[in-house]
A and B are shown apart, each in its own frame.
Chain A
Amino acid sequence: MELVCPAGSLNAFKAAVENGADAVYLGFRDETNARFFAGLNFNDRAAQKALTIARDRGVKLFVAINTFANNQHWEKWQAAVDGAVDIGADAIIAADIAVLDYAHRRYPDQALHLSVQASATNAGALSFFHRHFNIQRAVLPRVLSLPQVEALSQSSPVDLEVFAFGSLCVMAEGRCYLSSYLTGESPNTVGACSPAQFVQWQTEGDTLNARLNGALIDRYAPDENAGYPTLCKGRFKALGKQFHALEAPTSLNTMDILPRLHQAGVKALKIEGRQRSPAYVAQVVKVWRAAIDHYLANQDAFQIDPRWQSQLMDVSEGAQTTIGAYTRDWQ
């Protein structure tokens, strides 16, 4: 079972490699990837260096080109595919039909993984992408329960990769326009959710207001930890109550179901977090490497070391974690 880890910078890339990643994924410095944030991601030179590090350690390098191309700037997506092939990426992770089609026609030998942003949740949709682009692997949206992942693993025409740890998208990825409804920019179009340039922090007496393009996402008392105003994680009013109406700030953590994911035949576990620091990447990768190795060596007697969970909790959003949609209770 492959551990696929995020890198938003060369230092994060090194941290992932040194702490036991089997594969590291990165994006280029433009809107062709779904983590297009200032100061993040790789130019050609940094990507080349990353590849050298990866090759030295026998680690795979994946390039995420997983936004939806527009025809006005198509050359950017084309250049991203060409660049990924040029540096020798082990796989391109893509969601858009235009990107997949270009990569498959131009570079028939290039391995393609279907990004979570393609929102393919079933064998029929996976067959569509397999038929057209011969994808080898698909990353599943965070919407399926564990029994549904197990069933899909039986019927899928391609290998499956699932999210193991990191920020939790509440919505089916690639089909969420909440961000553009409030700001005009979304993960699909510009590669960012709740983009930073629309965030406004405002003090009002003792209270801290977090706004996104003017809309109040949350309001924090002095004793509360303020989180980034990702709009699905705000406190809103509905039915006369004020609460986290869609989702609370929390991270996904699937360590409890690691054995079942492995038994289901899931080929890879993905750590989310290209926007996170090298220290974060190092910590999370180290814990997951230890957990996977321990499990593979002790499949009948897998026990989670409490230190792993507390180390993951320390770096989790809102200092809390959830198994998310894998369990029906969350749904």
Chain B
Amino acid sequence: MQLTLAPIPFYWPRETVLNFYEQAAHWPVDRVVVGENVCSKRRELRTDDWLNVAQRLRDAGKEVAVSTLALLEAESDLKTVERLCRQHDISVEANDFSAVNALHREGVPFSTGPYLNIYNAQTLDLLVADGMNRWTLPVELGRETLKTLLAHIDSSALPLATEVMAHGYLPLALSARCFTARALERPKDACKRVCIDYPTGIPVDSQEDQRLFTMNGIQTLSGDILDLQAQIPEMADLGVNALRISPSQPEMTDIVASYAAAIQSRESQPTPASSAPYCNGYWFEEAGMIHHAI
């Protein structure tokens, strides 16, 4: 089973991002997906910068891909996505059907991230026919659906690798509204990219102080962090090809190392703590925020 480092969901300063990937080059991850998939206004790194980061990681021996924006609004967003899809040097991870359509037109194989609604076997078949060779299970789906879809991939001999998000804030929703700017009483058009001040987002709690969500610009993430390290042996048995770690803080060395060790030994350890408590309910086909201690 491979380990994939998913794109950074938050807006970090350029130096933080570059340092992060310098470290990642030495981490025990097989694959690194880079790029901005949340907000087109985030410009500490531009498209060419992301492609350069990917090239450096490839030179360091990693498989690489660059991720596309998940929610497109302006025509300029579509141009950015189509430009990424026209370059054939770095493989592309599609997070919207505009990217799927462009990559099909280009005739290049592609992977898909967690933002595409792939809920059934027929969707897998059609996207494989369009060129998809790796997909990510939508985060609200659990073990039973995964089993059904893996069985289909196996019986139909689809040339398709399956990734499951195993660690990180769950990407729950996207909006036209920037919740971070609004919470700070700034108009979106004058946000001054203030989300850069919140490297792990802004926690949203109930009036009883129950952690519910995390604001990340136009994105709403889960309040707690997904952690499926305990499920690694089960996922390996099911035939999952790769686990996906979404950075939950700038310092990810220990978390990545503990996942890599668990994959290697097929024995999970408690995952080192991150910037919020852990949850795993979706895996059990329950409310995502639930945490089952194993």
Using a CB–CB cutoff of 8 Å, the interface residues on chain A facing chain B are 68-72, 74, 95-98, 101-102, 118-125, 127-129, 131-132, 142-145, 148, 151, 155, 170-172, 174-178, 180-184, 186, 188-189, 213, 215-219, 232, 234-239, 241-243, 245-247, 325, 328-331
Task: Identify B123's interface contact among A98, A128, A176, CB under 8 A.
Answer: A98
User: Does B294 belong to the interface (CB within 8 Å)?
Assistant: no
Task: Identify A124's interface contact among B82, B115, B175, B206, CB under 8 A.
Answer: B82
User: Does B237 belong to the interface (CB within 8 Å)?
Assistant: no
Contacts A125-B98, A181-B289: A101 and B177 contacting too (C-beta < 8 A)?
no
List 30 contacting pairs A-B, 8 Å CB cutoff, sorted by A.
A70-B120, A96-B117, A96-B120, A97-B126, A123-B98, A124-B72, A124-B78, A124-B99, A143-B71, A143-B176, A148-B73, A171-B220, A175-B117, A175-B173, A177-B173, A178-B220, A180-B282, A181-B287, A181-B289, A188-B119, A215-B206, A216-B207, A219-B207, A236-B206, A238-B202, A245-B204, A245-B215, A246-B179, A246-B204, A331-B177
Q: Do the beta carbons of B72 and A121 come within 8 Å of each other?
A: yes
In B124-179, the 8 Å CB interface with A consists of 126-127, 138-140, 144-145, 148-149, 152, 170, 172-179
Q: Do the beta carbons of A188 and B207 come within 8 Å of each other?
A: no
CB contacts (< 8 Å) of B287 on chain A: these are 180-184, 213
Q: Which residue of B lies closest to A324 (CB)?
A: B176
The 4 closest A-B pairs by CB, nearest first: A124-B98, A98-B122, A143-B176, A68-B119
Q: Do the beta carbons of B122 and A177 come within 8 Å of each other?
A: no
CB contacts (< 8 Å) of B81 on chain A: these are 124
Using a CB–CB cutoff of 8 Å, the interface residues on chain B facing chain A are 70-75, 77-78, 81-82, 96-102, 104, 115, 117, 119-123, 126-127, 138-140, 144-145, 148-149, 152, 170, 172-179, 183-184, 187-189, 202-210, 212-213, 215, 220, 222, 281-282, 285-289
Q: Which residue of A lies closest to B281 (CB)?
A: A184
CB contacts (< 8 Å) of B178 on chain A: these are 331
CB distance from A60 to the nearest CB of B (A): 27
CB contacts (< 8 Å) of A183 on chain B: these are 287
CB contacts (< 8 Å) of A213 on chain B: these are 287
Task: Identify B174's interface contact among A131, A172, A218, A238, CB under 8 A.
Answer: A172
Q: Do the beta carbons of A180 and B288 come within 8 Å of each other?
A: yes
Q: Which residue of B lies closest to A67 (CB)?
A: B119
Task: Identify B140's interface contact among A74, A172, A186, CB under 8 A.
Answer: A186
CB contacts (< 8 Å) of A236 on chain B: these are 204-207, 212-213
CB distance from A234 to the nearest CB of B (A): 8
Q: Do the beta carbons of A120 and B97 come within 8 Å of each other?
A: yes
Q: Which residue of B lies closest to A171 (CB)?
A: B173
Q: Do the beta carbons of A172 and B220 come within 8 Å of each other?
A: no
Q: Do the beta carbons of A331 and B176 come within 8 Å of each other?
A: yes
Q: Do the beta carbons of B120 and A68 come within 8 Å of each other?
A: yes
CB distance from B207 to the nearest CB of A (A): 5
CB contacts (< 8 Å) of A178 on chain B: these are 172-173, 213, 220
Give 4 new A-B contacts, CB below 8 A, not counting A172-B173, A181-B172, A182-B212. Answer: A97-B123, A121-B96, A145-B73, A236-B212
Q: Do the beta carbons of A189 and B215 come within 8 Å of each other?
A: no
Q: Which of A102, A118, A143, A234 has the most CB of B within 10 A?
A: A143
Q: Which residue of A lies closest to B177 (CB)?
A: A331
Contacts A128-B101, A325-B177: A181 and B121 contacting too (C-beta < 8 A)?
no
CB distance from A202 to the nearest CB of B (A): 12
Task: Identify B120's interface contact among A98, A121, A184, CB under 8 A.
Answer: A98
Q: Do the beta carbons of B126 and A143 come within 8 Å of each other?
A: no
Contacts A125-B97, A184-B287: A242 and B170 contacting too (C-beta < 8 A)?
no
Task: Identify B184's interface contact among A69, A127, A239, CB under 8 A.
Answer: A239
Q: Do the beta carbons of B212 and A128 come within 8 Å of each other?
A: no
CB contacts (< 8 Å) of B140 on chain A: these are 177, 180-181, 186, 188-189
